[in-house]
Structure 1
Amino acid sequence: MAPTLNVGVFIYAGADIMDFSGPVEVYSTRPPPGTPQVFSVKTFAHTNPVGGENSVLVYVPGASFAEVEQQLENYDILVVPGAHPDIITEFVASEHGQKTLALLQRFAKLPPRKEAGYRILQSVCSGAVILGAAGVLAGRTATTHHICYDMLKEYADKASGGDSGINIVKKRWVDGGETEAGVRIVNAGGVSSGIDASLWITELVGGKELFQFTEEILEFERRGEGQAWGVKQA
């Protein structure tokens, strides 16, 4: 029987609601009857409760940041949502932001658990800027919300102390390949793109049948990697 992959979804004050709720919806969708659950999802945050964008909704996370930090090797997928650029700037410079960057750097160096076979660091929207600030996107192809391309380049270069070699592309989502430890980096474009990226990851780790079932349950047709916002398909 295939192992359950543990998914940690990070939430912070001002994070875009769909950035994290989209992946949560995909990963928490029940599989076909009679088949085991592939994902076990838990949200976590530095504070409890934590307010989403404009504090329209206030959340009680399933775990504290400290708890996930202590048990990081048990998490197979880590999801980092985005927010308004001003919020990202404030967050990265904060104490909580610096602790988050350290967590991401550590996660990117953890080999996949043998029983899981995968370790994935996933960003959604401007969450890629947080990954860039952590230095894990240097030399990789990446994407983010279309208004944050320059910001992503700036933060990735700053983390590298010069030209990071990041290749920023206008795509719906990007598989940026694996770190030396075998951690796969996946970036989704703006907001709703996180659903597409999460469905792609579902197919990657759970197979085509699970992906198609989840897509059907969500009544959401996954868009291809090249179908970025504003890119017309022939």
Structure 2
Amino acid sequence: MQVAVVLYPGFTALDVVGPYEVLGRLPDVEVVFVAERTGLVRNDLGSLLIEAMATLDDVTSPDVVLIGGGPGQSAQMSDGPLHRWLRDVDRTSAWTTSVCSGALILAAAGLLTGRRATTHWAALDMLTEFGVTPSRDRVVIDGHYATAAGVSAGIDMALTLAGLISGDDVAQTVQLIIEYAPEPPYHSGSVDSAPATVRKSAIEILTA
């Protein structure tokens, strides 16, 4: 099984690395990082580069497609090579997936029209512009589309997908191997639980 993880300048690292850690540990799975051109691709914070080992044209029929979000997502909303590739591979993929604002790219490519999907809380309402029904669930499965909410939710989505692909026992084994048992010291991980001052600060940063 081949998993194609899409990179573009300004991606958020955990959006793609979290799912990579999960899906890359499934039996008989090959993960390939793809981009319009091969080479190093810089993340949104500017200090991490991941190498795309294959171009979009090199990967024509992946079983799973995953695209993350990040500030660079805004430059990927116009129809072009990436959108065409997403539509092409979606015809044969078992799963087409996104993390965070990567869902907006799938939506702009026309893949989520008429479906339920989720994305980062700050971008959730934007899904309606593309005929998508937004959901505040952390992971949404609709047909062969799996979307995750913001950043860290990609790990939850990947574990969900791992269970659907390889079975619950395998998925739980991977969860134990990566020791995914979150116990954050704060309760500000969602809009509903975060204090008003924290919400205000986050919005100011995200809209700067």
Q: The TM-score by the shorter chain falls in which range? A: 0.7 to 0.9
Alpha-carbon deviation of 1:231? Answer: 5.3
Q: Does 1:16 align with 2:12?
A: yes
The DSSP-based 3-state class of the residue aligned with 1:49 is strand
2:185 match: none
Maintained 8 Å contact 1:124/1:191: yes
Q: Of the candidates 34, 40, 59, which is equivalent to residue 49 of structure 1? A: 40
Q: Which amino acid aligns with 1:40?
A: E
**TM-score normalised to the size of structure 1?**
0.74
Q: Secondary structure at the match of 1:54?
A: coil
In 1, distance between residues paired with 2:76 and 2:45?
Answer: 15
Q: CA deviation at 1:66?
A: 2.3
> Cα offset for 1:54?
2.9
For 2:116, the aligned partner's letter is T
Distance 1:221 1:209 in 2: 16
Match of 1:67 in 2: 58
Equivalent residue for 1:185, pick from 145, 152, 155 = 145
**What does the per-residue CA deviation read over 1:123-146, in whole Å, with 9 as the maximum and x for residues that have no partner?**
000000000001111110110000
Structure 2 distance, partners of 1:53, 1:141, is 27
Deviations 1:148-196 (A, max 9, x none): 0122222x1xxxxxxx2x210101110011xxxxxx1000000000000
Partner of 1:225: none
- Normalised by the length of structure 2, the TM-score is 0.83
CA distance in 1, matches of 2:158, 2:63: 14
Q: Which residue identity is paired with 1:133?
A: A
Residue 28 of structure 1: aligned partner: 24
**CA-CA distance at 1:230 after TM superposition:** 4.0
Structure 2's unaligned 5+ residue stretches are: 183-188, 194-208
1:120 aligns with 2:81: no
Residue 76 of structure 1, CA deviation:
0.2
- 1:76 is aligned to 63
Question: What whole-Å deviation, never above 9, does each CA across 1:23-58 have from its counterpart, x for those lacking one?
Answer: 1111122x6xxxxx2321111112322111132112
The answer to whether the 8 A contact 2:36-2:81 is kept is no
Q: 2-side partners of 1:100 and 1:152: how far apart?
A: 19
Residue of structure 2 aligned with 1:229, choices 190, 193, 200:
190
| Superposition RMSD in Å | 1.8
Is 1:196 matched up with 2:162? no
Unaligned runs of 5+ in 1: 32-36, 113-118, 157-163, 178-183, 223-227
Q: How many correspondences in the alignment?
A: 186
Matched, 1:129 2:104: yes
C-alpha distance in 1 between matches for 2:13 and 2:124? 21
Quote the Cα distance in structure 2 between the aligned partners of 1:80 and 1:192.
14
